[in-house]
Structure 1
Amino acid sequence: MTSEPIVTTKYGDVRGRVSGSGVLTFQGIPYAAAPVGPNRFQPPQPPESWSAPRDATEYGPTAPQAEVPEDGPFADLSPRSVVSGDDYLNLNVWTADLGGRSPVMVFVHGGSFTSGSGSISGYDGTRFARDGVVLVTINYRLGADGFLWFGDGIPNLGLLDQIAALTWVRDNISGFGGDPGNVTVFGESAGAMSVCSLLTMPTAEGLFHRAIAESGAGHSTISPATARLVGNRLAALLGVEPTREAIAEVAVPRLIAAQTQLAQEITAKPKTRLWGDVARNLMPFEPIVDGELLPGPPIERIAAGVGAQVEVLIGTNSEEARLFLIPTGAVDKITGLVVQAAAVRYGLPPLRGAARYRANRPGATPGDLLSAIATDWYYWIPALRLAEAHPGTHVYEFAWRSPAFGDKLGACHALELPFVFDNLDDRAFSPFIGENPPQQVADAMHKAWIDFATSGDPGWPAYTAEHRVAMRFDTASAITVDDRADERALWSRRR
Structure 2
Amino acid sequence: MRFIGSGLFSVIAAASLSGCATTEQTSSVAAAEPRLDTQSGPVIGSREGESGSVNVFRGIRYAASTERRRFQTATDPAQWSEPLPAKSFGNECPQPPQPDVPVFASWANSVGTSEDCLFLNVWTRGLSDGKKRPIMVWLHGGGYVTGSGSSNGYDGSRLAERGDVVVVTLNHRLGAFGYSYLAGSTDDPKYADSGNLGSLDIVKALEWVRDHADEIGGDPDNVTIFGESGGAAKVSTLMAMESARGLFHRAIAQSGSMSLAGFTPRLATPLAKDLMTTAGTNSVEELAAMPMEDLVTAAIKSRSRGAFYRPVVDGRSLTRQPYSPDATPVSAGIPLLVGTNNNEMRLQGGLGSPENFLLAWEQLPEKLAEFVPEGTAEEVIAGMREAHPDYDASDVFFQVATFRNYRGTALLQAERKSEQNASVYMYRLDWQTPVEGGRLQTPHALDIAFVFDNVARSTSFTGPETAETQRMADLMADAWIAFARSGNPNTPELPQWPAYDVMNRATMIFDTTPEVVADPDGAERQLLQRLLPEGRSL
Equivalent residue for 2:401, pick from 349, 356, 374: 374
Structure 2: 5+ residue runs without aligned partners? 1-27, 187-191, 491-496
Report which of the two structures shows the higher radius of gyration computed on alpha carbons.
2
Q: Are the counterparts in 2 of residues 327 and 405 from structure 1 also a CA contact under 8 Å?
A: no
1:240 equivalent in alignment to 2:281: yes
Query: Which residue matches 1:479?
Result: 516
Mean Cα displacement is larger for which, 244-253 or 113-122? 244-253
1:127 equivalent in alignment to 2:167: no
Paired with 1:436 and 1:454, the residues of 2 have a C-alpha distance of 28
Query: Which residue matches 2:17?
Result: none
| CA 1:74–1:231: 2 relative to 1, 3 Å | farther
Equivalent residue for 2:89, pick from 55, 59, 62: 59
Q: CA deviation at 1:64?
A: 1.6
Query: Which residue matches 1:201?
Result: 241
Mean Cα displacement is larger for which, 59-68 or 324-333? 324-333
1:345 equivalent in alignment to 2:376: no
Q: CA deviation at 1:301?
A: 6.6
Q: What RMSD in Å do the two structures reach over aligned CA positions?
A: 2.3
TM-score between the two structures when normalised by the length of structure 2: 0.83
1:410-449 per-residue CA deviation (whole Å, 9 max, x = no partner) reads 21111110110001111xx322111245211110000000
1:145 equivalent in alignment to 2:177: yes
Which secondary structure state, in structure 1, belongs to the residue aligned with residue 478 of structure 2?
helix
Query: Which residue matches 2:35?
Result: 6
Structure 1: 5+ residue runs without aligned partners? 267-282
Equivalent residue for 1:462, pick from 480, 499, 509: 499
Paired with 2:84 and 2:180, the residues of 1 have a C-alpha distance of 33
Paired with 1:132 and 1:77, the residues of 2 have a C-alpha distance of 25
Equivalent residue for 1:357, pick from 378, 381, 384: 384
Query: Which residue matches 1:136?
Result: 168
Please list, as runs of the form range in 1=range in 2, the aligned pairs for 1:87-236 lying within 5 A after superposition. Answer: 87-98=116-127, 99=129, 100-130=131-161, 131-150=163-182, 151=184, 152=186, 153-154=192-193, 155-217=195-257, 218-236=259-277
Paired with 1:307 and 1:457, the residues of 2 have a C-alpha distance of 17
Query: Which residue matches 2:482?
Result: 451
Mean Cα displacement is larger for which, 389-398 or 13-22? 13-22
Q: CA deviation at 1:173?
A: 1.9
| CA 1:85–1:341: 2 relative to 1, 3 Å | closer
The residue type paired with residue 47 of structure 2 is: V
Which secondary structure state, in structure 2, belongs to the residue aligned with residue 300 of structure 1?
coil
Q: Are the counterparts in 2 of residues 30 and 87 from structure 1 also a CA contact under 8 Å?
A: no
Paired with 1:301 and 1:3, the residues of 2 have a C-alpha distance of 53
TM-score between the two structures when normalised by the length of structure 1: 0.90
Q: Are the counterparts in 1 of residues 138 and 170 from structure 2 also a CA contact under 8 Å?
A: yes
Mean Cα displacement is larger for which, 432-441 or 385-394? 432-441
Which secondary structure state, in structure 1, belongs to the residue aligned with residue 331 of structure 2?
coil
Q: CA deviation at 1:292?
A: 2.5
1:314 equivalent in alignment to 2:338: yes
Q: CA deviation at 1:263?
A: 7.3
Q: Percent identity?
A: 38
Paired with 2:84 and 2:231, the residues of 1 have a C-alpha distance of 28
Q: Are the counterparts in 2 of residues 68 and 75 from structure 1 also a CA contact under 8 Å?
A: no
Paired with 1:365 and 1:40, the residues of 2 have a C-alpha distance of 50
The residue type paired with residue 379 of structure 2 is: R
Paired with 2:372 and 2:74, the residues of 1 have a C-alpha distance of 42
Paired with 1:325 and 1:186, the residues of 2 have a C-alpha distance of 25
1:287 equivalent in alignment to 2:311: yes
Q: Are the counterparts in 2 of residues 200 and 302 from structure 1 also a CA contact under 8 Å?
A: no
Paired with 2:461 and 2:367, the residues of 1 have a C-alpha distance of 27
| CA 1:468–1:290: 2 relative to 1, 3 Å | same
1:91-117 per-residue CA deviation (whole Å, 9 max, x = no partner) reads 000001111220000000011211111
The number of equivalent residue pairs is: 473
